[in-house]
């Protein structure tokens, strides 16, 4: 199964990707997580990417495409993957198509998850992530048992810098201008399956299950 998740920031791509990982035993490839890992390790790539991410802007396409090219070489991608947050621009989608052609692979579906902006702002403002294991919580919808402590590893929870109100609005604008056009791109390839992201996590997951039938 090779699936792309497209949707605005905070719509639940990462949350649903993790459920698909469990169901299909394929890796989640999240460019956001890969970039944040580079920032945490203070690599040159991380330092470069951070200037864009802090402002809610997209990291340049060539950086992202190279990161994906290297990731695809890893053995766990052989039987499929969930692409979460990639591609995000038409040049990235074109780059992905070239890569897939070279390795003779085809996508199975592009899941487009939607939700209204008020809900997205609510979810992002109340998101907390574990700085040790990356687990994601929500203070309103799926809070940790102990305040600011990860249920899984005991790590400290933090709020992402780009989840502050001014940056959220930038990210929503960037989504509309640079990522939303991908829906048309994949629609023409007959790959788009729309999913309503406004329900509970289980309801959205059920929508995805039906979309992949
Ligand atoms: P990235 O990390 O990919 O962020 P994003 O796309 O903005 O998506 P998010 O991770 O914010 O949200 P999500 O949809 O995964 O939602 P989640 O499941 O966490 O990218 C960050 C930055 O990196 C970008 O701005 C850019 O600078 C750079 N970048 C990354 N990829 C790039 C690329 N390809 N090209 C260029 N630049 C790139 O859910 C959100 C919250 O809601 C959580 O708290 C969750 O628990 C909760 N929640 C989820 N579903 C539900 C539900 N159904 N009901 C209630 N709560 C829910």
For 157-202, how does the pLDDT look when each residue is reduced to its tens digit (9 = 90+)?
999 989 988 899 999 999 999 999 999 999 999 999 999 999 999 9
Instruction: Give the CB-side neighbour count of residue 143, counting CA atoms within 13 A.
Output: 7
Is 120 inside a domain boundary?
Answer: no
Q: Do 83 and 158 fall within a single domain?
A: no
Ligand 1: distance of its center to the CA of 85 in Å? 7
Which atom of ligand 1 is found nearest the CA of 197? 53
Is 121 inside a domain boundary?
Answer: no
- Contact predicate 123/13, CB 8 Å: no
Domain that holds residue 152: 126-163
What's the whole-number average pLDDT of the chain? 96
State if residue 139 touches ligand 1 by the CB under 6 angstroms criterion: no
Ligand 1: distance of its center to the CA of 137 in Å? 12
Q: Whose CA is nearest to atom 27 of ligand 1?
A: 53
> What is the pTM (predicted TM-score) of this model?
0.96
Q: Do 67 and 96 fall within a single domain?
A: yes
Partnered with residue 12 across adjacent β-strands are none
State if residue 128 touches ligand 1 by the CB under 6 angstroms criterion: no
Ligand 1: distance of its center to the CA of 79 in Å? 24
DSSP state of 58: P
pLDDT digits (tens, 9 = 90+) for 58-69: 999 999 999 999
**What is the mean predicted confidence (pLDDT) over 137-154?**
96
Q: Do 50 and 94 fall within a single domain?
A: yes
Ligand 1: distance of its center to the CA of 169 in Å? 13
Q: Do 186 and 154 fall within a single domain?
A: no
Residue with tokens 């459920």: 19
pLDDT digits (tens, 9 = 90+) for 8-42: 999 999 999 999 999 999 999 999 999 999 999 99
State if residue 29 touches ligand 1 by the CB under 6 angstroms criterion: no
Q: Whose CA is nearest to atom 42 of ligand 1?
A: 123
Q: Do 104 and 11 fall within a single domain?
A: yes
Q: Do 107 and 181 fall within a single domain?
A: yes
Total domains in the chain come to 2
Active site residues: 13, 88, 127, 160, 171
Which atom of ligand 1 is found nearest the CA of 123? 42
Query: Checking phi first, is residue 134 left (phi over 0); if not, alpha (psi -120 to 50) or beta?
Result: left
Which mutation among 123, 182, 208 tests ligand 1's pocket best, with the greatest number of atoms within 8 A of CB?
123
Q: Do 104 and 203 fall within a single domain?
A: yes
Nearest by Cα to 32 from 3, 67, 66: 67
Residue 24 pLDDT: 96
Q: Do 80 and 133 fall within a single domain?
A: no
Rounded distance between C-alpha atoms, residue 128 and residue 131, angstroms:
9
Pairs from 148-152 (Cβ < 8 Å, separation ≥ 24) = none
Which mutation among 8, 12, 208 tests ligand 1's pocket best, with the greatest number of atoms within 8 A of CB?
12
Pairs from 49-57 (Cβ < 8 Å, separation ≥ 24) = 53/161, 53/162, 54/161, 54/162, 54/167, 55/167, 55/170, 56/162, 56/167, 56/168, 56/169, 56/170, 56/171, 56/174, 57/170, 57/174
**What is the mean predicted confidence (pLDDT) over 104-109?**
95
- Contact predicate 49/63, CB 8 Å: yes
Rounded distance between C-alpha atoms, residue 83 and residue 30, angstroms:
6
Q: Do 11 and 110 fall within a single domain?
A: yes
Q: Do 46 and 130 fall within a single domain?
A: no
């Amino acid at each position: 199964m090779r699936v792309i998740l497209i949707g605005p920031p905070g719509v639940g791509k990462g949350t649903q990707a993790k459920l698909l990982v469990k169901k299909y035993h394929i890796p989640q490839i999240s460019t956001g997580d890969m970039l944040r890992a580079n920032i945490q390790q203070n690599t040159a790539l991380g330092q470069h990417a951070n200037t864009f991410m802090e402002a809610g802007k997209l990291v340049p396409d060539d950086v992202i495409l190279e990161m994906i090219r290297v990731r695809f070489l890893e053995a766990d991608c052989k039987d499929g993957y969930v692409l979460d947050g990639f591609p995000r621009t038409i040049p990235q989608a074109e780059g992905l198509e070239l890569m897939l052609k070279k390795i003779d692979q085809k996508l199975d579906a592009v899941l487009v998850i939607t939700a209204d902006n008020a809900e997205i702002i609510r979810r992002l403002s109340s998101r907390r992530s574990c700085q040790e294991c990356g687990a994601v919580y929500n203070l309103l919808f799926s809070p940790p048992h102990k305040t600011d402590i990860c249920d899984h590893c005991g790590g400290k929870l933090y709020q992402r810098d780009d989840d502050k109100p001014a940056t959220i609005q930038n990210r929503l604008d960037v989504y509309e201008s640079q990522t939303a056009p991908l829906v048309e791109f994949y629609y023409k390839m007959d790959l788009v399956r729309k999913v309503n992201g406004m329900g509970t996590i289980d309801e959205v997951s059920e929508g995805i299950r039906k979309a992949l039938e």
